[in-house]
Amino acid sequence: MEISAEALCALLAGILEGDPEVKVTKLAPIESAGPGDLSFVSNPKYEKYLATTAASVVLLAHGVDSCHTKATIIRLHDVYQSLAQLMQHMERLSKPHKVGIEPMTYVSASAQVGEDVYIGAFAYVGDGAVLANGVKVYPHCYVGEHTRIGSHTILYPGARCYPGVQLGSHCVVHSGAVIGADGFGFAPNSQGGYDKIPQLGNVVIGDHVEIGANSTIDRAALASTKIGDGAKIDNLVMIAHNVEIGRNTAIVAQAGISGSTKVGEQCVIGGQAGLVGHISIANNTRIGARAGVGKSLAQPGKDWSGVPLMEHKKNLKIQALIKQLPLLFEQIHTLSIKHGNQ
């Protein structure tokens, strides 16, 4: 992609400082960018590279000093958000617009396939499935019986949607993700083993949801496991049966949410955090990485971390004190010797 600073500024609704005619062809990190590159600074620790960068154009927040750089500057209110907007634009230009059904696929005669749909080789679309307009099903995907996929949703290679899944519009499901597998339901029996509890529900996913590679979302036992509009689920996330995830909640890699837990809207759950079942998490809650959540969190807008779970600020104080334990022990030992106690 080649674009002038002037056109780029108009696209991002920024303010231009410098040569409007200079052109850029690709994005590059500020510390290694060269002539013809577009770069950015969204983190203050990278501002030092403004003086040395060879980038032709740099995206910069209002108020950041740029007097030591030779690059053309585009001032923006939110560099990170504008960068996301630009990269989405670049992706749309670079991606091939695949349509049609490739050879070596199976599409049931009772399936409904909309306009501009792409189904790659070795994909399977079961009886009664519905693929709305613009859906992309890449090779080796499985779309089970009576699964419904909303418009312009993408299933990347190897994604699996078990029967009865409802997937909204403009969603992205990455490779290896499994949606709608059985929830972990087993009842101990008198022989010391387990009887399987059939999982008769489904999974309902809203619009603009992204599900990372090798993540799993289990079907409900009776009703629906629900993922709200705009939720973002990282790679290797486990969401159990009957869980409900609120709108615009983000869940980071290797987090696990046990059955029947309800997570509110606009929450953030850090990597490797674990949530027990049958609890509720209030809106705008932030849970740190590796936290162990064993109870409901009823107050919205709070930060939590640690094992056992506690308010994040308190946990930081405790961690600071733990680092001082060797010194405290040495001081106590010295005092003990001084007073004759070995």
For residue 48, count other CB atoms closer than 10 A to its CB. 13
* CB-facing half-sphere around the CA of 143: CA atoms within 13 A: 38
100-315 carries CATH number 2.160.10.10: yes
Alpha-carbon distances, residue 169 vs 40, 69, 105, 302, 321 (angstroms):
32, 44, 23, 31, 49
Percent of the chain predicted with pLDDT > 70 = 99
- Distance of alpha carbon 326 from alpha carbon 215, whole angstroms: 41
Catalytic residue among 68, 241, 312, 333: 241
Q: Where in the chain is the domain with CATH 3.40.1390.10?
A: 3-94
Confidence bin at 122 (pLDDT 50/70/90) = very high
Handedness of CA 309, 314, 317, 322 (dihedral sign): negative
312 is catalytic: no
User: What pLDDT does residue 54 have?
Assistant: 95
Q: Where in the chain is the domain with CATH 2.160.10.10?
A: 100-315
- Distance of alpha carbon 123 from alpha carbon 268, whole angstroms: 34
Question: pTM of the predicted model, to two decimals?
Answer: 0.86
CATH topology of domain 3-94: 3.40.1390
- Distance of alpha carbon 1 from alpha carbon 294, whole angstroms: 50
Give the lowest-confidence range in 42-46, 130-134, 175-179, 187-191: 42-46
